[in-house]
Chain A
Amino acid sequence: MDKPPPSISSSRWSNVSSKEVTFADLASKRIRHGSAGADSEMLSMSQKEIKDEDARLIYINDPDRTNDTSFDFTGNSIKTAKYSVFTFLPRNLFEQFHRVAYVYFLVIAVLNQLPQLAVFGRGASIMPLAFVLLVSAIKDAYEDFRRHRSDRVENNRLALVFEDGEFRDKQWKYIRVGEVIKVVSNQTLPCDMVLLATSDPTGVVYVQTTNLDGESNLKTRYAKQETLQKATDLETFDGFIKCEKPNRNIYGFQANMEIDGRRLSLGPSNIILRGCELKNTEWALGVVVYAGSETKAMLNNSGAPSKRSRLETRMNLEIILLSLFLIALCTTAAATAAVWLRRHRDDLDTILFYRRKDYSVRPEGKNHNYYGWGWEIFFTFFMAVIVYQIMIPISLYISMELVRIGQAYFMTRDDLMYDESSKSSFQCRALNINEDLGQIKYLFSDKTGTLTDNKMEFQCACIGGVDYSDREPAESEQAGYSVEVDGIILKPKMRVRVDPSLLNLTRNGKATEEAKRANEFFLSLAACNTIVPIVTNTSDPNVKLVDYQGESPDEQALVYAAAAYGFLLIERTSGHIVINVRGEMQRYNVLGLHEFDSDRKRMSVILGCPDMSVKLFVKGADSSMFSVMDEVSYGDVIEATKKQLHAYSSDGLRTLVVGMRKLNDSEFEQWRSSFEAASTALIGRAGLLRKVAGNIETNLRIVGATAIEDKLQRGVPEAIESLRIAGIKVWVLTGDKQETAISIGFSSRLLTRNMRQIVINSNSLDSCRRSLEEANDSIASDDDESVALIIDGTSLIYVLDNDLEDVLFQVACKSSAVLCCRVAPFQKAGIVALVKNRTSDMTLAIGDGANDVSMIQMADVGVGISGQEGRQAVMASDFAMGQFRFLVPLLLVHGHWNYQRMGYMILYNFYRNAVFVLILFWYVLFTCYTLTTAITEWSSVLYSVVYTSFPTIVIGILDKNLGRRILLRHPQLYGVGQRAEGYSTTLFWYMMFDTVWQSAVIFFIPLFAYWGSTIDTSSLGDLWTIAAVVVVNLHLAMDVIRWNWIAHAAIWGSIVAACICVIVIDVIPTLPGYWAIFQVAKTWMFWFCLLAIVVTALLPRFAIKFLVEYYRPSDVRIAREVEKLGTYRESQTMVTEMNQIQDPPRR
């Protein structure tokens, strides 16, 4: 992920402020997408002062009074289950009927209940709907049962609640807002509470928020100093908290506490949230502010936004076509019936098979079931709709869902996509867009944490303009630094390779100016951060490890580096830090800390040193640091440092600049007063604090610069190359500097040496326009050359939301790689939108951090990397995985498969239903245009449910047109999905022609063979049923590519199942078709018809399929031949190899 400051991971730095800015910016943007917009409003609210109408009052340790107010607090029992025993039926039905498909079912079923329209019997007409509802209901009930069970477990957990002067165990569900709770180490917090006191005298607690945001490192939270002492005597604790209404921002909290008439402001660092675990702290006391469903954890417990797949959207067009067919068929039936009725209108009373009059009522007779010519037409039309209802393949929607679940199962279980290091397997969060993975054309990737590991390694230091970057480790230093304190050896947990000359320099004490600077440099690295050292035991009782926990991996790397050079940070509280400087313990008072924010792009700390001086240490991005340096005094050092920084970033390193200043008393006093005023301010506190920081961070003396390597993840270059060969345009969006970005671009093979780089780096709209147009012209002139477009965030400001977007899009389309550097998070979504709005091609965004959320939600497919940076990206994503390189199997293998399977399945479902409907329709032409079906109504219903559904689902889940290896070996095969070859209107029309042919063959061969014979309706109906089932299943069998035992079982099993069903229906003596199947199946005629039907129906398809595959082979077909005939040998060479094969085909 790439943060706004170039080289520092901002959200780690201080998650609160930077994230607020991120989202606030987003909200102000014109583009609103999905939930991000709504979120951002809530998030930015935290910055504002709470208005009375938005506030809630909580009386500390007075739950009765608290809950007596009109704020409507919820209890702490949670209910994730949706239904109770009584509400299940109505609510579940209500929710199920939200889907259009079910409503269609229902309307048809209701139509069928009208006596004039009753085509099917009651049972047969309701069965399909009932079946689907039942299956869904059972699934929902089971899921809900599991939720009930986990709710019960959760609600019955115990917590220590202060009641009647002592702490007593109380079940979670009875905890109320306003109560004071004591949590001990390693306990899970039952609700959101404001800290009152902790076992630590300074009021610090450490919490692990893994359950909440997935970050495994410890976070520090503080109790207010004012409440620390008071909390010892809870009985007399009197105060109230005015806090904002519950919201889902886990990084924001805004409240005021009033105790003893004093107002204190509370921020996100004063609240601990439900689901977190208390660590490294004996106990903590807190007052419940949000309980149960109002806790931030529960509010965040909602899923990914639902998307619709491109294929499904495309499919709607064909559904409309099918509806038109349906209407056409029904109209034909109604019209022909009308003509017949009109022509025979005088005979209707007496025609033996019509008998309109019921003479039993009175001698002149009364019309029986006849409502006049017009009505008869009307009824015929709707009866036709009922009979031909499966023309609209409603079962397809259910099949698609099942298939997607199956596909998701195989994706999550894929061995290739299991991340060993984080022990996480692939996750399918969105179940609707599996097949979109096969059609991706644009890939937008974040850099840090996505392409790279986000594991920072300290590489170089530049101190006083001198570069120390000898990265060859000296042998003697392999053991790593350790120091002995009170007989116990302390070691930093991670070793850092050190530069021997720099190490010598620091060891030589403060003898030289250089050494002094080096010491200052490492002191500032050790001090100027928010890292918490945690001392852990090892197997050797005399050796202890110091583990640095912090939110920014950059800071961790710096502190470990400082430790390696002898500046071992040992303790940090809110008031002081202890640093062991080469064996000597030094205590520094932390007088003030200005947290990182993305406007300043730096942080600073004010320390009271052991020598009683007060020093300000500042660390930040070079762009923001050089402007606050004292350029007059240190101009040459700054120049030298700048040069070094340029060299570092060309190597792809992330750089930071460190500066410091000694504060004199007056400066300090002035600062302190304004800092205190700002930090207790009730209005615009964040802005005030930023201003205070800005005022003091001036005139700095440059200490040095650091360079940190952000290592590429394993397999990233290969993955990017594969994706590029697959025809996917890769855009990398990074917050890094241009030089860093380009160097990462080279190392990740996004850029290659033979690419011409077009750099857009403009500061005004006009120059931006000019350079873009120049670029556009230059690409247009020669198209053989591959071009890389590099554009920076400043230029993007002018481009986005502007007519320049079109030019940029044109340029970007012609470039083979696009690199956007110094991109602000809100711009990421803008870039994705730029592409998405201009092309119908599919976009995929991949990222791992909170600042990628907008981009992930904007893209057609969002992929989250569950890496170092928490889980916001994963929560917003459709798919989540551990490593960037898994994109290759995900897209090239699973995406390809899913797309092919789904495309085929949709076409096949259209076909199989239409064949059946047409058979029914042809018959109507021979029944005096009345809706008689020779096929029994039960077979009509079971046809799409039992006779033909299993194979299509099985094939949709399991069939593979090509093996995994060949797909990975030839990424170009991915083009099948990009060119939408698996499903198109052309294919649909071919399919429909085939459908008409096959249905005609199935219908007319028996018709002519049995014309003028003694054949009865039921026997002929049975023949048609079985013929249709066999043809439809064999049609599928012809297209199955991999015949494993499951495919065999599904296809042959379906035919057998259909025969069994037909037999079962025919052994019921009260149905007209009693024993018909046995009567007809013992004649040769039956079997001769069946054989003729099957062969004749499938013959054209078979011949054309062969001709096309043989003379106009698709890539997939060639690859299949290669795979099957083994015309490639196991060899290391990738693509070229295929051109050299000289082996003749074996057949």
Chain B
Amino acid sequence: MPSNNTASSSAAGSSDSSTTRRNSKRPKYSKFTQQELPACKPILTPGWVILTFLVISVIFIPLGVVSLFASQDVVEIVDRYDNDCIPPPSRADKVAYIQGAANKTCTRTIVVPKKMKQPIYVYYELENFYQNHRRYVKSRSDAQLRSVRDENQIEGCKPEDDVNGQPIVPCGLIAWSLFNDTYALSKNNQPLNVSKKGIAWKSDREHKFGKNVFPKNFQMGNITGGGRLIPNVPLSEQEDLIVWMRTAALPTFRKLYGKIETDLQENDTIHVVLENNYNTYSFDGKKKLVLSTTSWLGGKNDFLGIAYLTVGGICFFLALAFTIMYLVKPRRLGDPTYLSWNRVPGGGR
């Protein structure tokens, strides 16, 4: 047959072998082959639907309230300094200032609005910084971070892969652009210790960053992107780097800078002496210093609580609406008069 292409004949070949066995045995009866496996066949009855909506609203509204409370409990101090920390004369050309050699030290004063229980997390927040940019996220070498043997695996790291043929460790744009503003905090003129230990994931410290991998040729290129690393400390202990290398998912993000392990009282004044080194000015990035406590649900964000309350409310409303509709205009389930051929007089078409 001309209509047979080669593709179909393969299937046909096998079917033909079955046709030659024309006398087939009666198929053995089983619930499976007759598609009669015991099955539950739920249908959406008004009762079930209304119940479902009620259950959802009963779960969601309390969850929303709890989430909102959790969010309200969080005390958060945000201090944007990227603009303020540039001396007014230099504000015309911020990029030039930040790239220049002038002293970048800047002092900020923060008043604690409410009592903050320890641990208080110190974050830096960047806005408009696309750590998730495709060029950026790809520019790293995880193998190199983990083991000295793989320090030459730098293919993905361009344009920060090597210096004069020597591989950079850690290579790539991510490491190169390491955040390097520093904060020195003091409370009521007493130095306030900011602990930098344990700010990175344990799993990263122990397995992802090698204990015997040391920085090499880092920031030795023609231009410096960001912070430097201490040469004789293994990467697994350079927690700022580890935190930085966990690239943020969204263009507005915080990264943990350290932890304050003492409580802060209301109206405590905190002086921050910061080195404003990091260049976010070339892309209008904002920099903020954040001091925040956390709740069991995370940071200060009302969104989830509102979302839960909204959904719970809608479900409650729907349950109510369906109940009213059901009472006003019920339809008898399984009523054959609704069948199309019974509705049309003389149907059957």
Contacts and interface: CB of A to CB of B under 8 A. Distances in A.
Contacts of A306: 3-5, 7-8
Most chain B C-beta atoms within 10 Å of own C-beta, residue among A927, A1047, A1083, A1139: A927
Interface string A293-336: 00000000111111000000000000000000000000000000
A1014 B253 contact: yes
Given A926-B251, A1016-B247, A1089-B304, A1145 B334 contact: yes
B22 A1085 contact: no
B132 A927 contact: yes
Nearest to A1093: B307
B44 A1106 contact: yes
A90 to B, nearest CB: 14
A38 to B, nearest CB: 5
A1092 B226 contact: no
B282 interface: yes
B129 interface: yes
B27 A418 contact: yes
A985 interface: no
Given A98-B7, A1118-B334, A1124-B334, A357 B159 contact: yes
A970 B338 CA distance: 14
B125 interface: yes
- Chain B, interface size: which category? 35 or more
Given A1007-B250, A1009-B301, A1147-B47, A930 B255 contact: no
A1078 B202 CA distance: 11
B212 to A, nearest CB: 15
Contact of B303 (A355, A1008, A1015, A1046): A1008
B158 A930 contact: no
B349 A1016 contact: no
A620 B226 CA distance: 105
A926 B339 contact: no
Interface stretch (B100-108, B134-142, B188-196): B134-142
B335 to A, nearest CB: 7
Contacts of B86: none
A887 B158 CA distance: 68
B173 interface: yes
Contacts of B158: 358, 368-369
Interface stretch (B33-41, B110-118, B231-239, B264-272): B33-41
B1 to A, nearest CB: 3
B18 A975 contact: no
A38 B133 CA distance: 62
Interface string A1031-1052: 0000000000111111100000
A410 B34 CA distance: 7
B89 interface: no
Contacts of B9: 302-303
Nearest to B48: A1147
B111 to A, nearest CB: 22
Interface string B304-326: 10011001001100100010000
A1092 B311 contact: yes
Interface in B190-217: 201, 203-204, 207-208
B336 interface: yes
B149 interface: no
A665 interface: no
A431 B44 CA distance: 35
A159 B348 CA distance: 63
B184 interface: no
B22 A1014 contact: no
B132 A1009 contact: no
Interface stretch (A5-13, A265-273, A345-353): A345-353
Given A353-B131, A1070-B143, A1075-B201, A1088 B63 contact: yes
A932 B133 contact: yes
B159 A355 contact: yes
B311 A1016 contact: no
A874 interface: yes
A1139 B342 contact: yes
Contact of B142 (A424, A1044, A1069, A1102): A1069
Count chain A CB atoms within 10 A of each CB in B13, B246, B339 and give the residue with the most.
B339
A1042 B296 contact: no
Given A1014-B248, A1088-B63, A359 B222 contact: yes
Nearest to A875: B19
Given A414-B27, A725-B348, A1013-B254, A1044 B39 contact: yes
Interface in A1063-1105: 1069-1072, 1074-1075, 1078-1079, 1083-1085, 1088-1089, 1091-1092, 1095-1096, 1099, 1102-1103, 1105
Contact of A1141 (B136, B163, B336, B346): B336
Interface in B3-33: 3-20, 22-27, 29, 33
Interface in B264-292: 279-280, 282-283
A352 B63 contact: no
Contacts of B249: 934, 1010, 1015-1017, 1019-1021
Nearest to A37: B2
B314 A1099 contact: yes
B297 interface: yes
Contact of A38 (B2, B6, B132, B225): B2
B327 interface: no
Interface string A97-114: 011000000000000000
A475 interface: no
B134 A932 contact: yes
A624 interface: no
Interface of B: 1-20, 22-27, 29, 33-47, 49, 52, 56, 60, 63, 67, 95, 123, 125, 129-137, 140, 142-143, 146, 158-163, 173, 176-177, 201, 203-204, 207-208, 221-223, 225-226, 246-256, 279-280, 282-283, 296-299, 301, 303-304, 307-308, 311, 314-315, 318, 322, 329, 331-342, 346-349
Interface of A: 34-35, 38-39, 80, 82, 95, 98-99, 140, 143, 146-147, 150, 210-211, 214, 301-306, 344, 347, 350-355, 357-360, 363, 365, 368-369, 410, 412-415, 418, 420, 422-425, 427-429, 431, 725, 727, 784, 866, 871, 874-875, 880, 926-928, 930-932, 934, 958, 960, 964, 970, 972, 975, 1005, 1007-1021, 1041-1047, 1069-1072, 1074-1075, 1078-1079, 1083-1085, 1088-1089, 1091-1092, 1095-1096, 1099, 1102-1103, 1105-1106, 1109-1111, 1113, 1115, 1117-1125, 1127-1128, 1138-1139, 1141, 1144-1145, 1147
5 contacts: A301-B13, A352-B225, A414-B33, A932-B137, A975-B340
In the complex, the 8 A-B pairs of residues with the closest C-beta atoms, listed nearest first: A303-B12, A358-B159, A35-B1, A930-B134, A1075-B203, A1138-B336, A1121-B334, A359-B222
